[in-house]
Amino acid sequence: MPAMPRITRCSLGLLLPVILCLLLGRPDSPRAEAPQEYQVKGAMVFNMAKYIEWPADAFSGSGAPLVVCSVGRGPFTAALEQYRGRTVLGHPVQVKRVQPGEELGECHLLVVSGVEKRYLAGIVDQARRRSLLTVGDLPDFARLGGAIGLVEVEGRVRFEINVKAAQQSRSKISSQLLKLARIVREGD
């Protein structure tokens, strides 16, 4: 193999990062930044509350908090934090972190993200026994028994709704939300 002269090789080694730097350092044209996936997912959970009919006894009063519980780690659960305190339909949003297996008594909505798949069945089952609506972004969340799955399709976040799981919850999903979603069946 023909070896390049040493000078050429050294200068190549130096030049490349320099070019890289110059390109890097140059301020990009004004950035029309697309929002981050998890910011959108967080906003979706916050917004979704408007499309859900809660049972009459779900809130103790008109100003009672709407409790969004989240299980798991990662950026999705972190993105919810920023909606803490904002109001939906007159209810201030409260975000509560729970561990797998913990009591879900006061939750109105359970957000599942960043948990290992083998935990999912347990979490979904627990939510079902509490008639609690679940939202998650694990692949196949809705198919595996979750009510509302958030999936990324060609750079957009879309809904998948497991109608059967949703019906088992005490809350009712509005037809507007159903229209936006892909309906997923559980194989049983």
Partner 1 sequence: MKKYRPGLRLALAGSLLFSLLCGTAVLAQDVAESPSAPDLGAMDLEQLTNLKVETVYGVSKFEQVVTEAPASVTVVTSDEIKRYGWRTLADVLKATRGFFTTYDRNYSYIGTRGFNRPGDYNTRVLLLVDGHQINDAIYESAAIGTEFILDMALIDRIEIIRGPSSSLYGAGAFFGVINVISKSARQIEGVEVGGSWGSQQTGSGRISYGKLFNGGEFLISGSGLSSRGNDRLFFPEFNDPATNNGIAANMDRDRSYSLFASGHLRDFTLAGAFISRDKRIPTASFGTIFNDPRTNSNDRRSYLDLKYDKAIDGTSITARLFYDEYRFTGNFAYDRTADDPVFYPASYMNRDQHLARWWGAEAQASRQLLPRLQLTGGVRFRDNYEVELPNYDLVPGGRRLDNSHENVFYALFGQAELRILESLILNAGVRYDHYETFGGATSPRLALIYTPVEGTVFKLVYGQAFRAPNAYELYYNDVFNGYATSSALRAETMRSYEAIYEQYYGDVVRTSASLFYNKIDNLISYQDVSPTQVAFANVERVRALGGEFEIEGQWSSGFAARSSYGFVSARDQATDQSLDYSPRHLVKLNLTAPLYRKKLFAGIELQGVSRREFSHNGAQVASPGYLVTNATLSSTALLPGLETSFSVYNLLDRRLEDPATTDHMQNLIPQDGRTYRLLFSYRF
Residue 57 Cβ, how far from partner 1 at the closest point, in Å? 26
On whether the CB atoms of residues 146 and 112 are closer than 8 A, the answer is yes
105 touches partner 1 (CB under 8 A) = no
Q: How far is the CB of 146 from partner 1 (least distance, A)?
A: 9
Is residue 1 at the binding interface for partner 1, with CB under 8 A as the rule? yes
Interface positions, 128-187, toward partner 1 (CB under 8 A): 143-145, 151-159, 176-177, 180, 184-185, 187
Chain positions 22 to 41 lying near partner 1, rule: CB under 8 A, are 23-25, 27-29, 31, 33-40
Task: Identify which of residues 28 and 57 has a Cβ nearer to partner 1 in the complex.
Answer: 28
Kindly determine how many residues on this chain lie close enough to bind partner 1 according to the rule CB under 8 A.
Answer: 81
- The residue to which tokens 């060609």 are assigned: 154
Alpha-carbon distances of 55 from 102, 134, 184, rounded to whole Å: 23, 16, 24
CB of 61 to partner 1, least distance (A): 24
- Cα torsion 90, 92, 98, 104: sign: negative
Query: What is d(CA 169, CA 55) in angstroms, rounded to the nearest whole number?
Result: 10
Q: Which is nearer to partner 1, 56 or 153 (CB)?
A: 153
Binding mask 41-80 vs partner 1 (x if CB under 8 A, - otherwise)? Answer: -xxx-xxx-xx--------------------xxxx--x--
The DSSP 8-state label assigned to residue 171 in this structure reads: S
**Exposure of 58 by Cβ count < 10 A (0-12 exposed, 13-18 middle, 19+ buried)?**
middle
The residue behind tokens 């019906």 is: 167
